[in-house]
């Protein structure tokens, strides 16, 4: 793939409405911007690949990239790209025969991520929605409930005693 000077059109297909509400792929210019940047820095992209987009804040909340993610991805095919409102996103490309399997496995490790099968040429980039992961189930199970809620601490006066 080689993006033209005028830029290709972006088409996102199959995106469910509940994902469209928070999808970064729908932000005008984001996907085309990251792919153009990729080509400037690393050369032409293949015509078919898979893509995962995940807020960097979610990766940071996990304490960094999950261990299993390293085995599923190529560090040369990962980058960070900012939205127009300066929010960083982790962008991972998957190429080769097992791209979709690795994308799906990697995405299971990344909360609030969206995955796509991409077909691209100089005139059009087509993102076919593959799946989205919202909050990870294991994430909720691992968290302990707070011992006391703020209202209970205020009502008991304990919070004020802590501040003295």
pLDDT of 84: 78
CA 8 vs CA 92, 100, 123, 142: distances in Å: 20, 24, 4, 44
The Cα–Cα gap between 158 and 87 comes to 38
**In degrees, to the nearest 5, what angle opens at C-alpha 23 toward C-alphas 22 and 28?**
115
How confident is the chain (164 residues) per 10-residue block, as mean pLDDT?
Answer: 65 94 93 92 91 94 90 87 86 94 95 96 94 72 49 65 61
* Entry pTM: 0.78
- The 3-state DSSP class for residue 130 equals strand
Closest CA to 58 of 116, 139, 127, 131: 139
The Cα–Cα gap between 87 and 60 comes to 13
Q: Residue 51 gets which letter from DSSP?
A: E
Residues paired with 113 in a beta bridge: 133
CA 109 vs CA 20, 80, 106, 121, 139: distances in Å: 21, 17, 5, 30, 10
């Amino acid at each position: 793939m080689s993006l033209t000077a005028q830029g290709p059109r972006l088409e996102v297909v199959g995106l469910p409405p509940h994902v469209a509400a928070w999808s970064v792929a729908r932000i005008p210019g984001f996907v085309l911007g990251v792919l153009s940047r990729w080509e400037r820095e690393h050369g032409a992209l293949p015509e078919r690949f898979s893509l995962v987009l995940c807020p960097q804040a979610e990766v940071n909340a996990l304490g960094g990239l999950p261990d299993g993610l390293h085995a599923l991805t190529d560090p040369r095919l990962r980058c960070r790209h900012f939205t127009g409102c300066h929010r960083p996103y982790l962008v991972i490309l998957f190429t080769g025969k097992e791209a979709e399997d690795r994308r799906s496995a990697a995405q299971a490790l990344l909360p609030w991520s969206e995955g796509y099968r991409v077909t691209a040429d100089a005139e059009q980039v087509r993102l076919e929605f593959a799946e989205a992961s919202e909050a990870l189930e294991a994430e909720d199970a691992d968290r302990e409930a707070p011992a006391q809620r703020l209202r209970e601490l205020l009502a008991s006066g304990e919070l004020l005693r802590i501040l003295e």
